Amino acid sequence: MKVAIIGAGNMGGAIARGLCNGSIIAPEDIVLSNRSVAKLDAIKAQYATIVTTCDNRQATCHADMIILAVKPWLIKTVIDEIKPTPEQVVVSVAAGIDFDSLEAMLPQCGNTIFRLIPNTAISLQESLTLISSRNATPEQEQLMLDIFNEMGVAMLIPESQMSAATSMTSSGIAYALKYIQAAMQAGVELGIYPHDAMKMVAQSMKGAAELILQNDTHPAVEIDKVCTPGGYTIKGINSLEANGFTAAVIEAIKSSCS
């Protein structure tokens, strides 16, 4: 399979690197297109056999799959330029552009279309990647899951859930980082050096996530294990609730759900 990626920014570049590091698509079967030569050169220096170009039409003319990793307001301009054929699978990484809008932009009907929402941890192969499909076969859906499971964890969901799930995963990574930042500030106030505080909190967050993912447990179960009667942790948990922690997180996710 030959894959063209339009856009070598943070997300497009991370997807290109993830594909090159994976086992499904060979680097020489990937064409990466971008207006900035510097970004292309940086990826080419890491993966010598990846094909790079500044010509979007050249990048996509022989591709089986086209990944559009450009800003939402550029999607129509790029589609008008490259004019995908009905045989080409079109994958959009642009948040907020639904299948109906994408189909209306395509020159002909019948393309298999995927919407793809990774988060920034894809650069470390640790993304939670959301995938929705239209006109796709089960085999095509499984291929997408296989590709992006190599860059973290991929989930196939209905498009109707995409907005809410994006708030929890793509935007949600910023909320997790905000907690790390806040906990760091508390540590510094209590006399811990900033770099040490950051490492302590980040590793604790990583450990908490692994408890849930590896044990298939529930946060409440793991919290109960830490909160001994009359202990410091339950006092901290009650303070979080008294100051609106849970409500603030819920409102943040609802607010970012477009």
Q: What's the rounded mean pLDDT across residues 74-97?
A: 95
**The amino acid at 89:** V
Map out the domains of the chain as residue ranges: 3-162, 172-255
Give Cα separations from 31 to 27, 136, 187 (angstroms).
8, 23, 46
User: Could you say which DSSP state residue 150 is in?
Assistant: T
- Residue 136 has a CB neighbour count (10 Å cut-off) of 19
How much is the pLDDT for 202? Answer: 97
How much is the pLDDT for 218? Answer: 96
Instruction: Answer for the pair 63, 36: CB distance below 8 angstroms, yes or no.
Output: no
Instruction: Answer for the pair 127, 153: CB distance below 8 angstroms, yes or no.
Output: yes
Which residues face 4 on adjacent strands? 31, 66
For residue 63, what pLDDT band results from cuts at 50, 70 and 90? very high
- DSSP notation for 183-198: HHHHHHHTT--HHHHH
Q: Is the confidence at residue 191, as pLDDT, over 70?
A: yes
Q: What is the rounded distance in angstroms from the CA atom of residue 120 to the CA atom of residue 169?
A: 10
**The amino acid at 108:** Q
Buried b (16+ CB within 10 A) or exposed e, 157-166: eeeeebeebb
pLDDT (tens digit per residue) in 19-37? 999 999 999 999 999 998 9
Q: What's the rounded mean pLDDT across residues 73-97?
A: 95
User: Would the CA dihedral through 158, 160, 163, 169 be positive or negative?
Assistant: negative
Give yes or no on whether 3-162 and 172-255 have one common fold: no
Q: Rounding to the nearest 10 degrees, give the CA dihedral for residues 97, 179, 17, 135.
A: -30
Q: Tell me the three state secondary structure of residue 84.
A: coil
Q: Is the confidence at residue 258, as pLDDT, over 70?
A: no
Q: Please provide the CATH number assigned to the domain covering 3-162.
A: 3.40.50.720
Cβ contacts of 43-46, under 8 Å, gap ≥ 24: 43/8, 43/13, 43/16, 43/17, 46/17, 46/20
| Residues 105, 111, 115: CA angle, nearest 5 degrees | 75
Q: Is the confidence at residue 51, as pLDDT, over 80?
A: yes
Share of the chain above pLDDT 90, in %: 95
pTM here?
0.91
Instruction: Answer for the pair 4, 33: CB distance below 8 angstroms, yes or no.
Output: yes
Q: What is the rounded distance in angstroms from the CA atom of residue 43 to the CA atom of residue 57?
A: 20
Q: Which residue, 197, 167, 169, is CA-closest to 182?
A: 197
Assigned CATH class of 172-255: mainly alpha
How much is the pLDDT for 109? Answer: 83
Q: Tell me the three state secondary structure of residue 209.
A: helix
- Residue 145 has a CB neighbour count (10 Å cut-off) of 16
